[in-house]
Amino acid sequence: MKQNPFLVQKAAEQNDGISQLELANMYAHGLGTVKDSEMASQWLRKANNNGLSTPLALMYLQK
């Protein structure tokens, strides 16, 4: 299912961890947006700060 980057970002900005993780994935792979590893890392950190453990694992895999 194709996600709308604008809607995902709106939800991510409202501290929705799942949306933050999805937005990080979109930035990491250039899905519906420009590929940007720095923005991907930023959203992974935010998702991790919102209690999701998956982003922490993904950050370690990126290095």
Residues of the chain with pLDDT under 50: none
Give residues with Cβ within 8 angstroms of 18, minimum separation 6.
47, 52
Amino acid at 14: Q
In this predicted model, what pLDDT tens digit does every residue of 22-37 receive, in sequence order? 999 999 999 999 999 9
What pLDDT is recorded for position 23? 94
What pLDDT is recorded for position 56? 65
pTM for this entry: 0.83
What pLDDT is recorded for position 14? 97
Judged by phi (left if over 0) then psi (alpha if -120 to 50, else beta), residue 28 lies in alpha
What pLDDT is recorded for position 9? 96
